[in-house]
Structure formats: structure tokens, C-alpha cells
Amino acid sequence: MTARPRHRRTARALTLGAGGTTAAGLTALPAHLWLAVTALYVAAVLAWCAVAYRAAHHRQTAEEDWEQRHVHGEQPAPLIPCCSLADYSGGAAHDQRRCTDITHRLPTARSTR
């Protein structure tokens, strides 16, 4: 599996947007208070989204590393939370294809090569 830089690239773009919007808001602060407040609010939302995309990138990287170790025959410990669906459902449901807990995964045929 190869890591797709989609989440990381989006996080960087959102961080750049948050920085630019912050600079614009601080520049407009003396003359236009409401414009500055709006720009700073947008910057906060962009920064929050950037943090979420950065966390998604780290999770994707950890899942790919776990999967690679599992394919090579190791018995890696499940990630915490074991999958995104378990995190959102409080452990009641699991993503049977991407869950890192072996007891919740669908069985797959191993290659003989």
C-alpha cells in the first residue's frame, strides 16, 4: 500500500488559508471591526479543519503501517480506536474491512506466493 498525500496536502492548504485569513483580519482590524471578526472566525474554522485533516493523515499512515506488519506475518496490537466506525459508534459497530482488531475483521485468503 502506498500512502496518498491527499489528507496532508489538504491540511497544508487549510493551514495556509488560515494564516492568510488571519493576516487579512488583523490588517482590517483598525478600520473594519466586523470584517476583522468575520475573517478571524473563518481563520479559526480553517485551522480546526486543518487539524482534523492532519489527524486523518496520521491515522491513515498508522493503518497502512499496521496492515503492512500484519501482511508480513507479525501480530501487531490493534490501534486505539481499532477503526473509525468503532470510534463513532462507541464500540458497538466495526468496519470489518479496515478494523485493526483481528476479531472484528473479515477473514481473507492468504496468498501462497
Picking from 100, 96, 110, the residue whose alpha carbon sits closest to that of residue 76 is 100
Under the banding of pLDDT at 50, 70 and 90, the label for residue 109 is very low
Cβ atoms of 65 and 77 within 8 Å: the answer is no
Q: What is the pLDDT of residue 45?
A: 98
Whole-number Cα distances in Å, 41 to 2, 7, 37, 49: 36, 23, 6, 13
pTM here is 0.76
Burial 84-103 (b: 16+ CB within 10 A, else e): ebbeeeeeeebbeeebbeee
Q: Between 16 and 109, whose confidence is greater?
A: 16
Q: Cα(first)–Cα(last) distance of the chain, in Å?
A: 18
